Every structure is written in C-alpha cells, then in structure tokens.
C-alpha cells in the first residue's frame, strides 16, 4: 500500500517507491530486465542488485517513460494486482502520471484503489484527469463513504484498512465478466482496467 503524506512539496514517485521498498527486501530474485537499471537513483540501497543503468539520455521525456516502464515491470514481477494508494490528493504530479500510465497499460493492466478527499483536490490536479477520463476498457465506479463508525481505542484520523467496516462497501461492487471491477469515490476511488 502506498501512502501520500501531506508534504508541502511531495517527493517524486515517493509513495510508489516507498510501497515497493516495503513490499520486498531485495530485487535480485525478481529477474528484472536491463531497463530496471534506470531505477538505481530511486532505489540506491538496491544499486548493487539492479542491472547496470542504461546510457544517460538527454531527452527527459524518454527517461521518464523508461522509469514508468521499469516501475511497472517491478510491480509486475512482485505480483502486484491491486495497488492501493491512500490520500492521493497529496501525490506529486509524476506519481499521478505514473498511476495514469499503469491504469492504461496493456496487456496486463494493474488495478488501482485510490483514496482521496475531493474537497482537497486542487482544480488543476492530474488526479481529476485520472478519475474523470478513464482509458478505453477501464471500468470505474464511485463509492462515497459516509461517516465511519468510531472504533474504541482508535486514534482520531487513523484509518485501518483491514477493518471490515471500512472496506465492507467495496465488496458490493458489481461484477463485470468482461472487466475487473473498479470503484471511484470522494473518500475512496478505485480504477481498474
């Protein structure tokens, strides 16, 4: 699970990098392609286990595309089928672009479950594109959460995604034989391909 902290200046791809880093202590066993070498600056602790970085390119958009492809490959090799990103309204623009990239990828789309507060989404945020213009073949559905029950002993503002009361409504998403289910909401958003 990736979490977007409320930093004034978010870290580029920070939520995804942190989630991957927590998911595995080592990448050596994953059999990553040579493309994964572009991830060395994002994962310096794995530099010795990642492939050699490809030749440096002057075109920043090509480098960015390589990083997106390598991150997607890493998620694939880890067997991630659903990427949960909490508080995505605080994500940096590059993370939001990466989420759009993985949501529209073929042949193996990655399902996304995103939580956000609609009232905190800036008017020019890429999150609006991600949640309002799904790629072809992507199913989205809004799930608006009402007041969550108070849990005795819980700290205010701390959500526990394992609690049935929190995720219970997501179990009732309509089944679609041609596509994986998805939900999108003020409060909770999932976009799946």
User: What is the sign, positive or negative, of the torsion defined by CA atoms of 69, 74, 80, 85?
Assistant: negative
pLDDT level of residue 13 (50, 70, 90 thresholds)? very high
- Residue 148 gets which letter from DSSP? P
User: pTM for this one?
Assistant: 0.75
Three-state SS at 69: helix
- Residue 153 exposure: Cα atoms within 13 Å on the Cβ side: 1
List pLDDT tens digits, range 106-136. Answer: 776 688 899 998 889 989 999 988 888 777 7
CA distance 72 to 116: 22
Closest CA to 11 of 94, 100, 70, 98: 94
For the chain, what are the domain ranges?
12-80, 81-146+175-193
CA distance 151 to 137: 39
User: Beta partners for 113?
Assistant: 84, 190
List pLDDT tens digits, range 74-97. Answer: 999 999 999 999 999 999 999 999
**pLDDT at residue 153, as a whole number:** 58
CA distance 188 to 114: 6
Mean per-residue pLDDT over the chain, rounded? 79
């Amino acid at each position: 699970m990736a979490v977007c902290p409320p930093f004034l200046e978010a870290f580029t791809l920070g939520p995804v990098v942190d989630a991957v880093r927590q998911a595995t202590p080592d990448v050596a066993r994953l059999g990553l392609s040579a493309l994964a070498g572009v991830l060395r600056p994002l994962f310096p602790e794995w530099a010795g286990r990642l492939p050699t970085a490809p030749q440096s390119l002057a075109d920043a958009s090509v480098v960015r595309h390589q990083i997106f492809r390598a991150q997607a490959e890493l998620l694939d090799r880890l067997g991630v089928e659903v990427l949960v990103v909490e508080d995505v309204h605080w994500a940096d623009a590059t993370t939001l672009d990466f989420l759009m990239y993985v949501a529209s990828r073929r042949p193996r789309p990655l399902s996304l479950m995103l939580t956000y507060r609609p009232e905190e989404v800036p008017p020019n945020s890429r999150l609006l594109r991600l949640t309002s213009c799904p790629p072809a073949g992507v199913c989205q559905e809004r799930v608006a959460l009402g007041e969550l029950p108070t849990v005795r002993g819980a700290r205010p503002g701390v959500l526990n995604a394992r609690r049935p009361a929190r995720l219970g409504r997501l179990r009732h998403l309509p089944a679609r034989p041609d596509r994986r289910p998805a939900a999108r909401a003020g409060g909770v958003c999932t976009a799946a391909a």
